[in-house]
Amino acid sequence: MSIGLSRLRQARATAAPNPAPDIRQLQEQTSAIAQSLREISHQLHPATLDQIGLSMALQLKCEEVQQVTGLDLRMANHGNTSAVPRDVALCVFRVTQEVLNNVTRHSGAHSVDLSLYREGNELRLQVTDDGRGFAPGTPGHAFGLGLHSAAERVGSVGGTLAIESAPGAGTTVRVAIPIRESDDASAAGHPRG
């Protein structure tokens, strides 16, 4: 776009005829940039988290992955997960995205079970697949950048992420995040499911 504007400036200075095609092209580029920015902003914080809550946003994500990949993806929700602080909800949603991405790209799984539940003052997420699994810590099977980022994201809200896997036995990812009573109060005005 900057190059196009420079060309227009030069064309104006030399009185070049009919700049309309260049202007039209710049308008199209501007529209494409605006669309890309909208998509990026939705990816940074999915509107569904605020509109329908964590549980339903995860259910929709599972349905989307199932539709695209054909995986048998089941989700269960236990306990009161309706009052989850915004930062925790975003963390759990992003971690779920990363885990499901890893399952579809690397595991060879046919089915995935996802559980979101709350026990007392702790929100827990568990994702288990029936894929090929791996031996954690062996060369070539170290955490990828995505799982490192997920672990850091969970740590930033005071939680833990653990991975259990073995060759031929699938993989289970467990996330546990403490929820303080003051967090519940701050989330009370927002739908969370």
The full DSSP string for 43-92 is HHS-HHHHHH-HHHHHHHHHHHHHHHH--EEEEEEES--SS--HHHHHHH
Helices 20-44, 2-13: inter-axial angle, 10-degree rounding: 160
Question: How many CB atoms sit inside 10 A of residue 113's CB?
Answer: 16
pLDDT of residue 128: 94
Question: How many CB atoms sit inside 10 A of residue 79's CB?
Answer: 13
| Regions of the chain with pLDDT less than 70 | 13, 15-17, 19, 38-47, 137-145, 181-193
pLDDT of residue 189: 40
The 10s digit of each residue's pLDDT in 111-147 is 999 999 998 899 999 999 999 888 776 555 545 667 7
pLDDT of residue 43: 58
Task: Return the beta strands (E) in the chain as ranges.
Answer: 72-78, 111-119, 122-129, 160-165, 171-178
